[in-house]
Amino acid sequence: MEYQSINPSDGSLLETFDLSSDVEVEEKLIALYQAQLTWKNIMYADRASALQRLSLLLTEDLERCARIISMEMGKPLPEAKAEMHKCVSLCAYYSALNGGLPEDKEISLNQSKAIIRAFPLGVILGIMPWNFPFWQALRFAIPTIMAGNTVLLKHAPNVPQCALMIEQLFEKAAFPIPVFANVFASHQQVETLLAHRKISGVSLTGSTAAGSTVAALAGKSLKKFVMELGGNDPFILFEDAQLSSALKALIQSRARNAGQSCVAAKRVFIHKSVYEQFKAMLLSAFQHLRVGDAFSGADIGPLARVDLAEKARAQVANAIQEGAVLLAEIADIPTSSSCYFKPCILEVKEENSVIEKEEIFAPVFSLIPFENTTALLAKINSGDYGLGASVWTDDERLKAMISEELACGMIYYNEMVYSDPAIPFGGMKKSGVGKELGELGMHEFIQYKTIYHK
């Protein structure tokens, strides 16, 4: 097994990397374990100073990092730059916090007292995906490190240059001690790491299948885990929705990153009273989208790998076979690589197992009319996923009901679902366990100790 950097825009092999040896993996883990024993005692202000240095380096190298992202996984260069700016904002948020751990909580017990104190866990393994290769690695690593842990990264095999660049930036930032390391690990090495006594927890962002496997391995060794997994997110338009704003958000949500986002608007539920109007608006705007090379100025780049494009094409074909109607597609796509996918709009008026049960990781707009809100919520809640929902209405009573009843980790009203450093991010059911970002995300990899005084 090798880690290969392949440009999905033209299929060219950029570079190949050998797997890390077992000795190298062990050495990096031991170094992080020893470093964490010191790092956990360093004042938060000193940690923040190092993070500010990292932020400055991310800003200085923003263009170079963005180009690596675009070359390795295909997203248009402006989107890659936006990803890097988001990483800078992540550093700013955690640099500005007053402290890394919750304050001691004292409980009075007649003539005695108990103190509840938080401690960092230790070395945390991060298994990260390719779709936002800098943002998702750093949104896990930075709050985890700022809480007093150290981090070992196992990145996706198709973005090895991104992984190395992140490691180099941490080294250049001159943290007081080494707090971050990258390894090109095999599946067997990951399994070994999860059982290692010096790994205290694991965070994975990826598919539900991958999360289930890793969670089982972590559970076998009783390791704490956070899982940010797949989604089949609903985008719900009610009759009072501001259609022009909703249209702009929908296109951005579904077309961004070539549809390869866990929180993208994958099922578009439209109230029957505005269904035809909104469908016409989408069809008109859709025809102006352009597919092309990541550096061509196109709106949508290729999918990240050939197998991903093949799977998405098969899903669309299966959905049509089950009764979905192809309303439109962008047929004018480059032929320089098999990673290019024809964005399309599907109309789904009957039950369709592909649309209802599968996450399509590509720019596919699935339009579904609805009329009864209670029935709609029951339908959405009956599925396995529960990540995020974008809901378009100004009806406060409706908002209150949806906020209470909809089984998902995040609900955004009159806005697309997105991640922000200050907002806890995570799903329910098979969409994940635990939270990232915000103060809650920083507190995932800590443990509490009860200290009793007579």
Confidence bin at 40 (pLDDT 50/70/90): very high
Shared-domain flag, residues 147 and 242: no
Domain-located, residue 124: yes
CATH number for the domain including 347? 3.40.309.10
pLDDT band at 416; cut points 50, 70, 90:
very high
**Number of folded domains that form the chain:** 2
Verify that 240 and 317 share a domain, yes or no. yes
- Quick check: is 289 in a domain? yes
* Catalytic site includes residue 350: no
pLDDT category, 82, cuts 50, 70, 90?
Answer: very high
Q: Are residues 202 and 244 in the same domain?
A: no
Whether residues 250 and 153 share a domain: the answer is no
Average pLDDT of the chain to the nearest whole number? 97
For residue 405, is pLDDT > 80? yes
Q: Coil, strand or helix: which one is 384? A: coil
Give the model's pLDDT for residue 284.
98
Integer Cα distance of 48 and 98 in angstroms: 10
pLDDT over threshold 80, residue 1? no
The backbone region for 74, taken as left when phi is positive above 0, alpha when psi lies in -120 to 50, beta otherwise, is left
Per-residue pLDDT tens digits for 163-212: 999 999 999 999 999 999 999 999 999 999 999 999 999 999 999 999 99
pLDDT at 300 over 90: yes
Element (DSSP H or E) covering residue 404: helix 396-405
Whether residue 187 sits in one domain with residue 39? yes
Give the model confidence (pLDDT) of 231-272 as tens digits.
999 999 999 999 999 999 999 999 999 999 999 999 999 999
CATH number at residue 168: 3.40.605.10
Over residues 302-317, the mean pLDDT reads: 98
Instruction: Note the pLDDT tens digit of each residue in 380-404.
Output: 999 999 999 999 999 999 999 999 9
Q: Is 228 a catalytic residue?
A: yes
The pLDDT value given to residue 2: 85
Residue 162 pLDDT more than 80?
yes
DSSP alpha helices (H): ranges in 173-305? 187-195, 208-220, 243-255, 275-286
| 3-state DSSP helix/strand/coil % of the chain, to nearest 5 | 40, 20, 35
Evaluate whether residue 95 is within a structural domain.
yes
Shortest CA distance to 2 belongs to which of 18, 15, 13? 18
Helix axes 396-405, 373-381, angle to 10 degrees: 20
Q: Which of 72, 167, 228, 359 is catalytic?
A: 228
Q: Give pLDDT, residue 11.
A: 96
Q: With pLDDT > 90 as the criterion, what percentage of the chain qualifies?
A: 98
Residue 447 inside a domain? The answer is yes
Domain check: are 207 and 259 in the same one?
A: no
Residue 53 lies in a domain: yes
Distant-in-sequence, close-in-space partners of 76: CB < 8 Å, separation ≥ 6: 70, 294, 295, 297, 298, 299, 300, 301
Model pLDDT for residues 46-60, shown as the tens digit of each residue: 999 999 999 999 999
214 and 138, same structural domain?
Answer: yes
- 102-151 pLDDT, tens digit per residue, is 999 999 998 899 999 999 999 999 999 999 999 999 999 999 999 999 99
What range does the domain containing 129 cover? 2-229+431-453
pLDDT score, position 110: 87
**Considering the domain boundaries, does residue 377 fall inside one?**
yes
Which residue among the candidates 65, 162, 262, 339 is catalytic per the annotation? 262
Q: What is the pLDDT of residues 331-343, one digit of tens each?
A: 999 999 999 999 9
Q: 448 and 326: one domain?
A: no
Residue 315 lies in a domain: yes
Same structural domain, 30 and 175: yes
pLDDT in tens, 25-35: 999 999 999 99
Query: Are residues 261 and 303 located together in one domain of the fold?
Result: yes
Average pLDDT over residues 408-413: 98
Q: Whole-angstrom Cα distance, residue 360 to residue 308? A: 10
CA distances from 437 to 18, 57, 232 (A): 32, 21, 21
Q: Is the pLDDT of residue 98 over 90?
A: no
Do 203 and 126 touch, CB atoms closer than 8 A?
yes
Do 212 and 63 belong to one domain?
A: yes
pLDDT band at 99; cut points 50, 70, 90: confident
Identify whether residues 102 and 251 lie together within a single domain. Answer: no
Within-domain flag for 426: no
